[in-house]
Structure 1
Amino acid sequence: MKIQDILSIFRDLAPEENQSSWDNSGVQVAGSVDRTDKVGVALEPTPAALCRCLEWGADAVITHHPLYMKPKAPDTEGMYLDALRAVIRSGSWLYAAHTSLDTRPGGPAFWLGKELGLTGGRLLEVEHGRAPVEASFYCEEPITREAADIWANHDGVHSVSQSRTGEVRVVCDEPHWRGLADKIEFSLGKRPLFYLRSLTAPVREVGFGEAGELPEPMAFDAFMGKLSGLIRRDALLVAGPKPETVRTVAYCGGSGSSLIERASHAGADVFVTGDMKYHPAVETPICVVDVGHFSLEEEMMRRFAQELDEALPEAEVRFFPGEDPFTVYTS
């Protein structure tokens, strides 16, 4: 399968335009191979994880965390240089789907809400809000039903119509417009003169974390038991006032302690996240459960690998489990 086709699928499932301004989602290392039939998936681009992918034969590797946030000179021994050496030596491609994946509506970053059966889901933090564009052009002949169906089934398309005067109007989410324009050109055999205007509604929001309601209220201990089973950890850190009953749950993978106030304003009885720090734990107005940075995101990438496997029928996709850098020590 062509590498560029694989990269297109990566970008479809983790749109780069949705990433945060500080992030570095996208190609980390441009490889020299142009085709592959194996794609490796891992949470971290550590030398150990990358070498497992490369030894298996993956010429395309996608991780959640980027290899670097800002351009960095390969002039110091360490994990960064070791990772570069491994990937460049193999000629493979390294890609990161970081906040581009975290913010995809209904994507694998929201797996915990699905498993808990949350309803009424709303974002904790909106990263981008975009309205669609309306494209219009004139076509002397009526567009065929086949062509209209092809355009209407393109990702991000809201509507396709043609007036009696021959004006065709298409409403499409802005990130998908370029691909749709290419489809229209292919169908018509020429590229028409498009007139574009931005609409004010509906606004499509993408962002981090979610709050929602459980199907039925649960006693706190029962909720914690269910959460432990989903996270697959026996010990969880808890801060703040413990509610007797849990109805509204908020969660955010990774380092989500900055969203405590947003979770509280969303009415959450419990906020599930990772990397909880001391002072936010002391000051939290609601119950916070720290399940660790690793737990939520490792499962997210396992599920993402399953999505990629379905989206890449001409390539074999394998998830390479990581290792939580924290272990519990008992004397």
Structure 2
Amino acid sequence: MKIQDILSIFRVLAPEENQSSWDNSGVQIVGETVETDSVAVALEPTPATLERCLNWGAGVVITHHPLSMKPKALNRESMYMDVVRRVLKKGAWLYSAHTSLDTRPGGPAFWLGDDLGLKDRKLLEVEKGYTPIEVSFYSEDPVSREAADIWANNDGIHSVSQSRTGEVRLVCDEAHWNEVANKIEFSLGKRPLFYIRSLTAPRDEVGFGEVGRLPEPMSWDAFVAMLDDRIQRDVLMISGPQPTTVASVAYCGGSGAGLIETAARSGADVFITGDMKYHPAVETPICVIDAGHFSLEEEMMRRFADELAGELTDVNVRFFEGEDPFRVHVKK
């Protein structure tokens, strides 16, 4: 399969336009390979992980974390230099789906909410909001049902209609407009003059983490036991006031300590995240469970690999397990 076609699917499943302003989602290293039948998926672009992916024969490696947030000079030995050298030597491509994947509605970043069966789920932090556009143009001839169906069946189309005066109106997500415009031009044999205006509603939002209700309130012990079954980590670090009963849960994969106050305001009884620090743990007004940055996002990428395999039917997709950089020492 052509590399550019593979990258197009990456960008559908992890839209680059949704990434945070500080992020570096997207192509990290441009390779010489034009086609490949093997795509590797991993959490972290470490030299050891890349070595395993490339030795397997991956023409493209997609990781969650970027190789770096900012460009770096290749003027000294470092982990960055080691990865660049290995990838370029194989002619492979390296791609990052970072906050572009974290924020995709219904994406694998929200796997914990799925597994806990949370109801009435809402974003914990909205990163960006999008409203559709209304497009109108005039057609002297009635638009055929076949043509209207082709336009309406395009991703991002909300409605298609035509008035008796010949005015055609479409409500469309802005990100999909160029593709729709090309189909209209093809159907009519010419490109009409489009009148476009932004709408104020409905509004689609993307962001980080969620809050929702459990199907039924649970005792604290039962809730923690349920987490133990779902989170692959030997130790859960718990801080803040421990509730007797858990009915509402907030979570954010990766590093979410900055959302503690937001989780508390949402009414959650518990907030699950990673990368807690001492002072936020001391001051938290809500019970926080640090399940580990690695464990939450490793599972996310495992599920993302399964999703990719369903989309890239002509390509071998393999998930490469990572290694938690933290090790537990139990005092004897």
Structure 1: tracts of 5 or more residues without a match? none
User: Is structure 2 residue 64 aligned with structure 1 residue 47?
Assistant: no
Structure 2: tracts of 5 or more residues without a match: none
Identity of aligned residues (%): 71
**Aligned residue in 2 for 1:98:** 98
CA distance in 2, matches of 1:284, 1:204: 31
Match of 1:323?
Answer: 323
Match of 1:116 in 2: 116
Work out whether 1:58 is the aligned partner of 2:61: no
Structural mapping, 1:27-38, within 5 Å: 27-38=27-38
Q: Distance in 2 between matches of 1:267 and 1:180?
A: 42
Moved over 4 A (4+): none
Structure 2 CA distance for aligned equivalents of residues 61 and 146 of structure 1: 41
RMSD: 1.2
State yes or no: 1:156 paired with 2:156.
yes
Choose 172-181 or 12-21, whichever is displaced more: 172-181
2:17 pairs with 1:17: yes
Alpha-carbon distance, 1:190 to partner: 3.0
TM-score (norm 2): 0.97
**Conserved in 2, the CA contact under 8 Å of 1:38 and 1:316?**
yes
Matches within 5 A, 1:246-285: 246-285=246-285
* 1:86 to 2:86 alignment: yes
What is the CA–CA distance in structure 2 between the aligned matches of 1:189 and 1:321, rounded to whole Å?
51
**Letter in structure 2 aligned against 1:64:** H
TM-score (norm 1): 0.97
1:157-210 residue CA offsets vs partner (Å, 9 max, x unmatched): 111112222222111111222222223233333332222111111111110010
- SS in structure 1 of the partner of residue 170 of structure 2: strand
Q: Can you list the C-alpha shifts for 1:72-130, whole angstroms capped at 9, x where unaligned?
A: 11112111001101111111111101001000111100000011000111111110011
| 1:276-295 → structure 2 map (5 Å cutoff) | 276-295=276-295
1:185 & 1:295 partners in 2: Cα distance? 49
Counterpart Cα distance in 1 of 2:221 and 2:47: 40
Q: Deviations over 1:247-301 (max 9, x none)?
A: 0000001110000000000001000000000000000001000000001111111
Secondary structure, counterpart of 2:289 in structure 1: strand
Paired residue secondary structure (1:193) = coil
1:17/1:175 contact within 8 Å kept? no
Distance 2:47 2:187 in 1: 46
Q: Which residue of 1 aligns with 2:238?
A: 238
SS in 2 for 1:80: helix
In 1: Cα distance, 2:305 partner to 2:140 partner: 46
**What is the CA–CA distance in structure 1 between the aligned matches of 2:271 and 2:153, rounded to whole Å?**
38
